[in-house]
Structure 1
């Protein structure tokens, strides 16, 4: 017979590929995948050695446990990375090898979106840019994949288009996406939204010292702390006459949940398993029949995803 439970705190439990040119490291094994979608800054334009570009620094900092796939391309705006099948007359079509749809095909644990200045340099309106960002990020949100987005960056050469949309987009991104926004604006910007000479490479791109700061800004977001919590949000665990009821608030490629039991919290045995919904943004309830004898006092809940990864969601004692 089950006793009343006081569940413990949630227990959280490089391959870097750049087509054609750019930073590149290729570890043999990885557990997690992060995809970078963007333009020349993410591609590392003009940065030599390539190890100094921000994405490569980030990939090396994570080590072989994490695959960082970079599908960015110089010159791209939000339009080129829109979902496959979205088109607007007079605007570039999505690149199916480098857009958000391609990024999602890697089944990533997180996405970083770095599209700093090309929309402004092309003269696209704030309304266009904002609508595109919403569409791109929503495509990932629908798959329960977290997205971190960089702010715009200052730019000296805008090909005759005004620079005032750059800080306006920066402010909109910060207001809209909050702590998922990475500050790529300071300390690079002058008062007129041009690039500070200390960090200027060519009037458009940042230099090596600038990329070092970009990497530090990304690292400060501790993206892997979120990723390691797993691709499922466990909302609650409740006791039933026959076992446990789990409630989740979103799942990404989850195959099944299982509960394990132990007498000493060291040796564990399987005590129940249930098939999961897979990928969903909706609240789901699961009933687990627990086949454990009364002497088992410790329990833990794990989730297995379609990549056969196992994530510890919660441990508790009854």
Structure 2
């Protein structure tokens, strides 16, 4: 048998190199796919079916404290109210049984989880409720979670059997005197903002137009509240609060105040799906984005 020629050896080496490259590319694709699936798995899902029941998150609201926005009155403790230092997240859900046999549901399946410490809270109001859901029956359920001071992002999860799904990401609003770690209480304490840099963030990396539309095109398709003329409209959201401060608090705590146009069955619904930008923006980027928002004018 004759030894392989030099050209034949080169051809074998090239073929082997191509197979190695293809193998590496396949591994990278599989790894990327696994990462994408993992990321998708932790994204909030407003409606989900688990172990025979379908649950839909209709509304989630942090109960308002009149002292949140500068009022000096001290309210008396009311029966059933959260303990001092706690804030209550009220959650409204519907549970539907699509099967032909009854299914049991308990509000104890709902958990609020601190993403940093792993601490879990079960509902302190309505959490003991248990139901038998008949075939094709739809039930409305309201529960409340009383949460102590924490700066972490929180996940509302539905744990049923071996399945567990995230329904909502939120953050506990600050009470009077509580400043978020790493962030000043007042927008004036941020660095001077640059509206042009904020515009680049809004239309570029943050892709805010995907939900709020283009402020320069009033009436455009969107799923979040409109932002045109924000300096005027934003100043009307909370009595005594400037548009800049309102933008700042909304970026840190998206669900703290629901825009009036989102309080009904409109396109933006009643749940804020805006990310927690206090976790991803630097103080300068926060200032730049707010500067852009408060300088918006229809037609720009």
**TM-score > 0.5 by shorter chain:** no
Provide TM-score, normalisation by structure 2: 0.23
Q: Point out the structure with the larger strand share.
A: 1
Max Rg structure: 2
Provide TM-score, normalisation by structure 1: 0.22
Q: Point out the structure with the larger helix share.
A: 2
